[in-house]
Structures are given as structure tokens and as C-alpha cells.
Structure 1
């Protein structure tokens, strides 16, 4: 893999689910053809409300769900073409997932030691009992937990400790990409920052890339290099984390930000403006993705605009279409890398 090759490159990925029983032909669309590149060592946050398709995307990339269409390459290798039916052991070793619920992701009948032994043995990461014991202790040290906890059961640990064990389990097979599906949403606020700091330091130390899925804009800004906003199975805005949250352009992004309490915002968010944004979001079938008469969006060709004052910042919205004499640029697809927009 060359230095320019993304760790993960997704193109036109779609996913639909059947609804209405065995003989029904109806389907609901969870992913509408998303494109995404993640660079080596980069942390990308995917934000959006429940039901927007974030977890479905992660499960497709983890090969827990089979995509309905599109493709994705891992380190330059077309995964669905090379492994059409199920993921290989090598892929599962390279791409690990951390689940949302630290209470449900650990089997209560096993001790902590079992959760670290299992991946080490399945992926032939160690040979011999002594090496296995040393490897488990190293993993506990990586996630800042004492080795004494190896002999405890999950119910004897706090939520933060359980999530650290889940992180240690993912690290056991030396992954190059971690899919973290809301890993802090079920933790107390007091322990979230510790888990976020741990994930950031591990990614930096081991050059691990991460897709961090969350509905928490504050944690996305704190942890991620880039933020991508997802709405109704589509990417609608993306860019460098701090810049995007400072100058959101899409109505849905602005609506998400308006719902976050901010002591610096005097008098709260303007209720009239919030009502207008909510109206635009409710009319999403004609605003975000389809023709709106006077705008340039259409159902056939998505229109992405590069925000002129931040080249890595793009927005998919006909409402943002810049005037003909403005320096904004229309794109066929979003700028999914930090260097230059895809043509």
C-alpha cells in the first residue's frame, strides 16, 4: 500500500432491508450510495440522529451485514470482490469493531481473561501459554487497567472498565481500522473523556485508523480529525472537525448544532431560526436530495459544493449553491480526503 492509498475507500455503498413479511416486495433504504475515504491514522467521526444509517454502514464494513450494492476497498483491495460471501480471518483481524453496549458485548459467564485469550488464539497471535499470559497483561496495560481484573467477571467491573476491556479485545489482533459504534454513549459523563483520550492515544501510537460513530457533536469535535454528517442514509456535509462545527452550511447540520446546549450562546438558539431549519429537514425529500425547482439538486445527480473559504469543507445542498460569481465549486462527489476533492 502506497502512502497515498486510503486504508478504507468506499464507493456507492447501498443497503436496503425488506419490510412487510415474507412475500412483500417493499424495502426500506438504509444507505443511499455513500462514498468515504479514511487515511492511515485518521479518525473520522460520522454523526447523525438515530436511524440515519450510521450503524448500518459500520456493520456493512465489518461484514456483519451484506451491502446491497457498491464496493469498498481495504488497503487497495476490493473486499466484496475478493471475499463475496464472508470475510476472511485476515480481514476480521485487520478491521475490528467496538460496540455501543459494554454491558451486552461481554458474555457474563466468562472472566475478563477469556475475552482477551479468544482473539489471540483464534488469530494465532501468540504461541505457548507463557506468551499468552504476557500478551494479556500487555493489553491490560495498554488500556490502563490492572492485570488483577483478568480474573474478574464483567458484572464486577464498572461501565468504563468494561468498555476498556472491549477496546483491549479489539487491539489483541493488531487491527489497522477500528469501527467504533457509539462507544461512550452508555457510559457516565465522568468516564467518557478517559475513554476518548484512550482511543485517541492508541490511534496515534499504533497508527490505527478509526471510524467513530456518534450522535454527540462535542465528542466528535474532541476526538476526530474530520466530521461527516449523515442524514437519511446520505452524507450531507463534511470537513475538518472544528471548521465544520464553527461554520455549518447544511440545514440539518445547523439543526443538530442548535440542539446542543451552549453556555456561550446568549438567550439560547433563535426559535424562529430553529423552526425554519426543522421545516427544511422535514422537507428533506425535496431539499437535501431531490429537485426543488429553483435549486440545483436533483434525484438523478447529487450536487456537492466545496465551501470556498475551507477547501476541505463540502456540503450537499442545493440551498447552498453559490452565486455564479462566487468562488464555491460544484463537485460530483464529496471531498473524502484531506488533500483534494474527487472529480
Structure 2
């Protein structure tokens, strides 16, 4: 895997915030969906963003895709400050470079069009092929190649979405994203509505495409098993903020934040010799929902007043956790860290 230490990150998010107004146009009620997140994704890296529903995962993806306007913060795409250079709306080049795969394969394809329409339209709009002499033949070849990439026969180009299975529709959605040669794919729970028997095939497809074409991916999911299987790195999100990050295998084997441990405790595991202690789950839930109940805080510095910064934990320099229990002594050298690609951690005072 190429890391940001050797190349400019494909995506570099800093302090991104999003607040929604609720209750009508005259309402002053606000809901914070993102609380100032930082994230780097390296070229060719697959980052899984995990957390429960409502934690802000999809909002982050929609902000990066420019389907939502962030309330604050910046993000750079391949070194370009998108919020500064494309303030009002994204350019067609950005739309081409950053593609999104949605959760619902049944709703993301218009039922009145054949499959060929979903591939031909982006190829034409972004000028990939289809113009000039021989354009029609080139277009047909391009559509057939895209279908081959996602493991579908070219004959399916003549079918309508209702004639395809859920897995086949999601493969068409992936082919549509690939049509414009993206450098970053935002996959918003792309397997959650598929039968369990076909999920592994879609995950293998996405992994192979990223490896073969060097595409980066932000994979959004609440399924820890698929995150472990697909991703290079996992970032855990809770209440609009990142709380833990690390190598996928290491993080799930040695979770440090109470919220991460609570998520893992809810996953059925036939290899677990004894059921997860319900008292332990109750304690973790109290620590997450009421930080003052955390027994790792102190009277002078309870968890809800501890500076919310990341610290390295365990034996891996890539494993970061945002939790006061891991804070160094007050007189120790500064170790606050930004959440970035594994080999590009920044020290702070």
C-alpha cells in the first residue's frame, strides 16, 4: 500500500464541520452532524469508516462528494483546496475524479432506462468516448469493457434494472462509477442491502479494482466484519467525531476506545469461548454515554474535560485513540496527533 509519506494524499480533510437546521425555516434549533474531523487517505488506500447509524458517516461522504456544503473546515483533493477553488459548485473534473456508490442498488438506477444508459451517459458527459468518427463503435467497446470489469456479460446492457438481481445492480453502479476513471470512490454501505451470499463477491470486486487501478476508497459501513475484510485502515466514528483509528486487523484485535469495544461486543463471534460479560457491556455503555462515569478519569481531570486529542496506543505507531485515559502526564512532551494516513502522523504541541 502506498502511503501519504511517499505521495501527496488523495484526500486531506481538516476541521470539517456540518450543522443542520431542524424544525423549519424560522427554527433556531441546530443538530451537529460533524464536529470538526481530520482525515487523510493515501493513493490506493482503502479506509473503512465505521459507526452506528446517525454517527455522521454518510454526511462526511456527502460533503466530500459536494452533495452537501460543509459548515466549516477545508479539504484538499490531490493538493487542491476544493473549498477555496470551487467554492460555489464542483467542476466537472472533480465530479469525474470523486465518485459515489450509494447504499440502495434498487433506488440508484432509474427503472425506465436500460443498463447501457447508465454507462453511456457518464462516458458522454465527461468526454471519455462516443464523439467523432467511429464514436458509436468506441462507445460500444467502452461499455462492454466496463461490464467485463465488474464481472457481468455484455448482453446485460440491454436489460432493465428490474431484470437484474440486487448484486448485479450494484455491480452496474460500480461500473458507472468506473466509467469516468475516478481516483477516489466513496462507497456508502454498498453491500448492506444485498443478500449475504453475494456480499463477498462485491467486496472482492471492489478490492481488486482498487489494487489494479490504484483507486482510493472511503468505505462506509456499520459491519465490522466487512471492514476487517476489505479495508487497510479503520476509522471509528461516534457522534460526529473520530474516536479511534488504526490498521484494520490491529484495531479490531486490540480495541482501545470504549465505543470501539462496545461495537465489537455486539458482534456475534462463534470463536468467543464465553459470552461477552453483560456487566462489562453496561460499563462500556456508561463510559460512552456519560464520560464522567468513566473510571479512568480523575477528580481533577474527568474524561469529559480531558483535551480531546489523539494519542498512540499499543505497540503500533499507527493505532490512535481519542480518549483521556491514554493521555500522557502533564509534564511529558506533547504527543497530540492529527488523524492522517499511517506514515504521515503529525506531532503537535
2:317 aligned with 1:311, yes or no?
Answer: yes
Deviations 1:242-292 (A, max 9, x none): 0000000000000000000001111211111111011111215x589xx97
Kindly state the Cα deviation for residue 105 of structure 1 after the two structures are TM-superposed.
Answer: 0.2
Report whether the alignment pairs 1:337 with 2:341.
yes
CA pair 76-340 structure 1, distance change in 2 beyond 3 A? closer
3-state SS in 1 of match to 2:48: strand
Aligned with residue 188 of structure 2, among 167, 170, 181 = 181
Residue in structure 2 matched with residue 94 of structure 1 by the alignment:
97
TM-score (normalizing by structure 2): 0.92
**Aligned pair 1:124/2:107, yes or no?**
no
Shift of 1:26: 1.7
Query: Where do 4+ consecutive residues of structure 1 move more than 6 Å?
Result: none
CA shift, 1:340, in A, is 3.8
How many angstroms apart in 2 are the aligned matches of 1:237 and 1:131? 47
Q: Is 2:47 aligned against 1:30?
A: no
Is 1:115 the counterpart of 2:95? The answer is no
Shift of 1:321: 3.0
Post-superposition CA distance 1:61-101 (Å, at most 9, x none):
00000000000000000001000011110000000000000
Q: Which of residues 51, 66, 86 is equivalent to 1:48?
A: 51
Distance 2:306 2:122 in 1: 45
CA contact (8 A) 2:11 2:40 kept: yes
Structure 1 residues 251, 48: CA separation in 2 closer, same or farther (over 3 Å shift)? Answer: same
Contact 1:228 1:237 in 2 (8 A): yes
Is residue 320 of structure 1 aligned with residue 326 of structure 2? yes
Match of 1:206 in 2: 213
In structure 2, relative to structure 1, the CA distance for the partners of 1:331 and 1:18 (3 Å cut) is farther
C-alpha displacement of 1:6: 0.2
Provide structure 2 residue ranges, at least 5 long, that are not aligned to the other structure. Answer: none
| Count of residue correspondences | 338
Q: CA RMSD in A?
A: 2.1
Partner of 2:263: 256
Normalised by the length of structure 1, the TM-score is: 0.94
Q: Secondary structure at the match of 2:109?
A: coil
Kept after mapping to 1: 8 A contact 2:38/2:339: no
Aligned with residue 59 of structure 1, among 51, 59, 62: 62
How many angstroms apart in 1 are the aligned matches of 2:57 and 2:47? 12
The CA deviation string for residues 322-343 of structure 1, in whole angstroms up to 9 with x for no partner, is 5689x9x864333411114212
Q: Deviations over 1:209-236 (max 9, x none)?
A: 0000000000000000000000000000
| Cα distance change, pair 262–254 in 1 and its aligned pair in 2 (3 A) | same
1:287·1:317 contact (CA, 8 Å) conserved in 2?
no
Distance change in 2, residues 1:302/1:2 (3 Å): closer
Partner of 1:195: 202
Gaps of 5+ in 1: none
The answer to whether structure 1 residue 68 and structure 2 residue 71 are counterparts is: yes
